[in-house]
Chain A
Amino acid sequence: MFFYYLDLAWRSIKKTPLLSLLMVLAISVGISTTITTLNVYQLMSVNPAGERSDKLIAVQLWSQGKDAWKEFNAQVTYQDAFNLRKSDLPVRQTAMFVTGLAIQTEDADFSPLLESVRVTDSDFFGMFSVPFLYGGAWDKSVDTEAAYQVVINEEINKQLFSGENSVGKTLFLDSKPYQVVGVIKTWNPSPQYYDVTTGAFKDSAQLFVPFSLAPIEEFQSWGNNQSWKRESMDTYSDRLNSEMHWIQFWAEVTDDKQRDEYAQWLTRYVEQQQLLGRFESPEAGAQLSNVAQWLDLNEVVPEDNKILVGLSALFLLVCLVNMLGLLLAKFLKRAPEVGVRRAIGASRNQIFAQHMVEVGLIGFCGGVLGLIWAWGSLSMLSAHFDLEESLTHLDPSMWIIAPAIAICAALIAGTYPAWRICSTNPSVHLKSQ
């Protein structure tokens, strides 16, 4: 029966090509704007930590003075990071910031490259599930006893060592020799949740060096440096002892119980610092966020996107109302034909089903066409605005979602016209013949 209805639907569409085309166009345009905005929204709001989301905890401290900022800063001071690293409560933890260093090799002809470098602890790689190609992270002892070791990524490995296993080899950062201990596979979580302070949708760093080297090598900070206190900072040790917020701090816990214990430990830490004359504000304290809370807190999905998703949903609604009107017109025009069919024995249910199949077919065509529009508009937007690729590729789930939304929407819109046509008395239509 379904295929017979499909055949009838196809014939009916062919009979009124203009009206049917209008409907397909309306629904496809509505679907394509909804899909386009939904796609970008979905890719921005994805939680790349997956099931580890609840175990990874971003640490914030309200260490500023009384009249300073009225909120938790996303980063902590060096002294706090240094002290927090001593806690043995979390399973793993890391302090980090971004810097930039010039890379050279032993090959004198190689012209130096300036690359952004993440200064971090050995736990970083395990915590954020960084995949290794060769070797691994530096030894945990390096986190306290600084050593000139570096983890590089696949791309740099290709550029510098033509892609072979470079573990044990030497490269130069700012003219100092560093030993390669690990090569990671291409790794680029989007959003870059472990550091959202300088934009959540940029590429990850290519190199990683030990945090313990920072006071020795005096790495400059390429990220945000926020001060609430006017302090003179002439030397690097002034910077390390200052109240400036410039370090990101993450801890890993096994469960909620451990998280609570860690929170209590932090409260004690704050009290202890207050005795030393820091954390003067009455709101002083600590805030812990897991990855999902962290993305939310930092408003990683921009407002613009939420507005666009809302407006495009309304837009889809307009398209549906439009389609509803057109369907009504189309079906009512066919009333005499329905009258004949009813008179020779078709039941109301059959008439209803027949029309719903037709509506579903229109919805399906609209959905497929809408998907093509969406694909076109996304590639046009990304070409014109030079957007991050991660934001503009069509998410595979959309291939299911788009036609599904289209068919459902069409069926909802078609219910009323189909009901109208099957519920009228056939004799009325027959009489008008």
Chain B
Amino acid sequence: MLHIKPIINTLMRSKSGPILLLIQIILSVAIVANASFIISERIALMDRESGTMEEEVFDFRLYAFDSDIDIESQSPRDMRAIRELPGVIDATMTSMVPLSGGGWSSGYTIGNSEETAKDTESAAIYYGDDHMVNTLGVDLIEGRNFYAAEIVTGSPDLATHAIVSKAFAKATWGDEPAIGQIMYAGDFGSQPLQVIGVVDKLQGAWVNSSYLDNSVILNVRLVNVFTKVLVRAEVGTLAQLKEAIPAVLHKDQPNRVIEGFTLISEHRKRVYRNHELMATVLSMMVVLLLLITSLGLAGMVMFNIERRTKQIGTRRALGAKRRDILSLFLVENYIICIVGGIIGGLVAVQLGQQLMTFYSLPKLELIYPIVTVAGLMVLTTVAVILPARKAACISPATATRSV
């Protein structure tokens, strides 16, 4: 039914128009495929969960600049006061806040003897007390939490017990149970840490690191003039606690700076900002590109129809039905689309290859150019049908009169 040969002949007779369309489709496929690949990469990155109750947990900075303050006795008093405030679920001192972009990380040593000892992957380290697990709202799936009596106060190297994230346990001990394992904070044998619990998921501070899901909580309440405090409170109470917490802490000891109240969900927004920005700009680009391409195509078809009014009229007079005229334009479009799609797909893969070589992007998955070509076929069909329907309505009489 489809007369492809005469259509190709028509295309070959006036080359410039179809060639321009072809170039446009090739470029569109190359850009859209790569852009949507980058967009989906970024969205996948942003969708990772931190494992904490991001809407409930916030942190603030506490800076006791007065050297007369005895931090060691001051901080338990502070924590008790905060926990008693209405709306507060739990609170703890911490060395680091999830997704905040700044904090502590380290690798550990494991093994049975000095010769077989090896280093673990790096992990984010949270120094905190028995309230840490509950404050973060992480899910303890194996073992137990610290007992209050196990918490030591002072410097980081006093740690003895560790709660690790499932990802870290898996990376370090594989299928062996993590509970009861020993790892060393220094070289083999120095500063042993006993693993007593595993939490399902807990991310560290740096979302672009390769070890984001590796985390360790150690049983140390740090003594430092500059500390961070994590508070878990009922949703919506932050505004009121922002006033209440400094008030209650200043009543006890006024010579301190208390500031920087930030929900983990806000930290998330900030650390992923560049990824979100990239995804947004690229999405805008894809939408605009498709819009421009289809509008341009519609414009070209409209022009073609006017130019070929006589030809269409003659065909109609010779017995061609309306849908024959419609299919004429559609087939023309599909020929260009398929050829452009194939070449465009190759160019897209090439472009992806270049991006991978020069920038830290993964390899373009083939499904992206394929879906893009399919999408373009649908889009151009719409862009062609709307003006072509007009062409199909041309009556043989009108067409022949204009000769």
B-binding residues in A (CB < 8 A): 18-19, 22, 25-26, 29-30, 33, 36-37, 100-102, 112-114, 174-175, 220, 230, 232, 234, 302-304, 306-308, 311-312, 314-315, 317-319, 321-326, 328-330, 332-333, 377, 381, 384-387, 416, 420
Contacts and interface: CB of A to CB of B under 8 A. Distances in A.
Interface residues of B, number: 54
B187 A328 contact: no
A302 B66 CA distance: 41
Interface stretch (B27-35, B136-144, B165-173, B193-201): B27-35
B38 A307 contact: yes
In this complex, the member of A308, A311, A377 whose beta carbon has the largest number of chain B beta carbons within 10 angstroms is A311
A402 B2 CA distance: 47
B27 A321 contact: yes
13 contacts: A29-B291, A37-B281, A175-B65, A175-B66, A175-B255, A303-B360, A304-B274, A318-B31, A318-B293, A381-B277, A385-B276, A385-B280, A387-B277
A303 B351 CA distance: 15
Given A315-B289, A321-B23, 14 more contacts: A26-B295, A112-B257, A113-B257, A114-B259, A311-B285, A317-B27, A318-B289, A322-B296, A325-B17, A325-B296, A328-B17, A333-B303, A381-B280, A385-B273
A102 B255 CA distance: 10
B27 to A, nearest CB: 5
Nearest to A329: B303
Contacts of A114: 61, 63, 257, 259
Interface of B: 16-17, 20-21, 23-24, 27-28, 30-31, 34-35, 38, 61, 63, 65-67, 155, 157, 186-187, 226, 255-257, 259, 273-274, 276-278, 280-282, 284-285, 288-289, 291-293, 295-296, 299-300, 303-304, 306-307, 355, 359-361
Contact of A318 (B65, B187, B256, B292): B292
Is chain A's interface secondary structure helix, strand, loop, or mixed overall?
A: helix
Contacts of B281: 36-37, 308, 381
Contacts of A101: 65
A329 B27 contact: no
Contacts of A416: 16
Contacts of A220: 226
In this complex, the member of A25, A100, A230, A321 whose beta carbon has the largest number of chain B beta carbons within 10 angstroms is A321
Contact of B34 (A304, A311, A385): A311
Contacts of B300: 325-326, 329
A29 B292 contact: yes
A226 to B, nearest CB: 11
Contacts of A29: 288, 291-292
A386 to B, nearest CB: 8
B359 A307 contact: yes
